[in-house]
Structure 1
Amino acid sequence: MTHVATLVAGPGVRLETPHVDRAMAMLPGGEARTLSDGRAADLLFSPGPLEDPNVAPLGEAVLLSDYRNAIAEAIDAAAARIDVVVQPVRHRRKRLFLADMDSTMIGQECIDELADYVGLKPQVAAITERAMRGELPFEPALRERVALLAGLSETIVPEILAERIRLTPGGRALVRTMRAHGAYTCLVSGGFTLFTGPISQAIGFHEHRANVLVVEDGRLAGRVEEPILGRAAKYATLVELRERRGLGEADTLAVGDGANDLAMLGEAGLGVAYHAKPAVAEAAAARIDHADLRALLYVQGYADGEIVGE
């Protein structure tokens, strides 16, 4: 079998036998393998014509996205809250992992939490949302938001980390398991090193890269050091680490949720849009809309017995 469709159930729901059976009906032959009881399964197959005669003709070379869409429709994935990822079996276990931080490895946007301390969270969050949707260029939008933070004490950062920032479920298991199997991991963020430093350490990344807030006399100066780490820099980081480690494109995994992640996701062997903005989810090769970050381990073929716990 040369390809695999992985089904992963979201929190509070179960992946049941009827889901697997209906998904298998979309595939030419194949076999199912349980990765996590009631949570994740692999469906191994070799590409061929879709089995459903109601699906519009797609020609002999059926794209993987067509399989994904056909399976998702067959199991009513959105309603069932089940994610579907289809990919080649070869190189599915990745040796380099790059991850966005805000709204990906953590559940919050750090700049929005900083803005809350000066009573400007609604204004800053609105700019953040537009930038992540790709409606505003990232770099000027970041400068605009940072300027509003001028005068904040840098001692606020530990307080925010302790009281407001929550790690995304499954993140530690994802990074620790990949590291245990020889992968290199990097947290690469359009946010700030004041946050990526402690967060990357808490999760277990090898390294982190982000923007540097200018601090003067213990207070934020309302500026960020140039050049700003944004879309192009995330892409460049992936290429740099891949080449430094002598890896091929197929050996890389990247995950993110915003428009500034798109270049990185597109360059990765598998780029995953995680609970992403609509335009990002549509553009990415794979998407996780329901499950937590453990899904990225199941997508690589790890079964529960191989996963290093939180």
Structure 2
Amino acid sequence: MFVATLIAAGKLTGEVVREAIDRLDATEHDVGAPHWLDEGDAADIVFQGSLVSARSELMKMDHGALDVVVQPLGDRTKKLIVADMDSTMITVECIDELADYAGLKDEVAAITAKAMRGEVDFRGALAERVALLGGMAETVLTECRLERVRLTRGARTLVQTMKAHGAYSVLVSGGFTTFAGPVGEAIGFDKVVANELEIAGGKLTGTVREPIVDSHAKLETLKAEAAKHGLPLAETLAVGDGANDIPMITAAGLGIGYHPHAAVGEAAAAVIRHHDLTALLWAQGYPRRSWVLG
């Protein structure tokens, strides 16, 4: 059994739900009656048939603000979330904002964009960008965090709701502990994994301590935390936006590209392009009345 969740907050009509059912019927799926999670916002359609075919068919629907998540019904409510930070749990790329204080934002942001699109090696791109920040005063890290970093809408509600229903939460970032630590605490993550900048004499040295948190480390974090908590990968959720998130996204039971770069959108089982992070709660079958508002 599979479930297709249609999400269009404030704009989901019965006609759109009917179209989805008709598309599934026309492609020889055995479709049940729809169920509103929250009327006008999100609805479920349970069906039997081909997961791949259903995803392909429902992705053809063009209704502007519509996001669709199609997945197996059985392990839908996840017990572990592993989330990227930059441009996922927060609205910015921290290293780009940090570079702005050194007058290097355009140069650093161009490298970041290439890394997130998967056009350059993440480790090399990280080393190149951090080297440009060598000599920056350590105090700028806190200044940047306080002035520039904002939580993505729905971040706290997503994590707090999942935790209230028994899930464990990990923030895993290719960014830096000086940002990820406070962000993780503000959202309510149980654990934070991130890179650590080398600092000497109150200034950034332009290097990062090993081990580097890259795509491999993110994947291994997902696997290790699942094993630690006795969970099959089917009961895990991973979310991110950049190429270094692809391995964990494709390994998780539900891998979601959140407003993703193209490579992630192609690799992820589901993509959220129009909504905030609370869409991941509807995707797990949580109606709004069960959310823990952040």
Q: Normalising to structure 2: TM-score of the pair?
A: 0.96
Q: What residue in structure 2 maps to residue 141 of structure 1?
A: 125
State the number of aligned residues: 289
Partner of 2:114: 130
Mapped pair 1:242 → 2:226: yes
Matches of 2:129 and 2:228, distance apart in 1:
34
Matches within 5 A, 1:34-183: 34-47=36-49, 62=50, 64-73=51-60, 75-77=61-63, 80-183=64-167
Residues in 2 aligned to 1:125 and 1:290: alpha-carbon distance in whole angstroms: 24
The aligned amino acid for 2:54 is Y
Compute the displacement of 1:293 (Å).
0.4
SS at match of 1:31: coil
> Whole-Å Cα distance in 1 between the matches of residues 58 and 252 of structure 2?
24
Aligned partner of 2:22 in structure 1 is 25
* Partner AA of 2:79 in structure 1: R
How big is the shift at 1:37? 2.7
The yes-or-no answer on 1:6 pairing with 2:39 is no
Give the TM-score normalised by the residue count of structure 1: 0.91
Q: Percent identity?
A: 53
RMSD: 1.1
**Counterpart amino acid of 1:29?**
V
Shift of 1:191: 0.4
Greater mean deviation of Cα atoms: 159-168 or 278-287: 159-168
Match of 1:50 in 2: none
Distance 2:152 2:110 in 1: 22
Cα distance, 1:101 vs structure 2? 0.2
1:289 maps to 273
Stretches of structure 1 that go unaligned for 5 or more consecutive residues are 48-61
1:248/1:214 CA distance change after superposition, 3 Å: same
8 Å CA contact 2:31, 2:45 repeated in 1:
no
What SS does the corresponding residue of 1:265 show, helix, strand or coil?
helix
Look up the match of 1:52. Answer: none
Alignment partner of 1:105: what SS? coil
Q: CA deviation at 1:66?
A: 2.4
CA distance in 2, matches of 1:285, 1:189: 21
Query: What letter matches 1:34 in structure 2?
Result: W
Give, as a single letter, the amino acid of the residue that structure 1 aligns with 2:110. Answer: A
Between the aligned partners of 2:224 and 2:31, the Cα distance in structure 1 is 40
Shift of 1:228: 1.0
In the alignment, which residue of structure 2 is the partner of 1:207? 191
The secondary structure found in structure 2 opposite 1:102 is coil
CA distance in 2, matches of 1:38, 1:165: 32
* CA distance, structure 1, for counterparts of residue 144 and residue 13 of structure 2: 40
* Residue identity matched to 2:198: V
Alpha-carbon displacement from aligned partner over 1:37-56 (angstroms, at most 9, x marks no partner): 32111111222xxxxxxxxx
Rounded to whole Å, the distance in 1 between the matches of 2:149 and 2:53 is 38
CA–CA distance in 2 between the matches of 1:18 and 1:152?
56
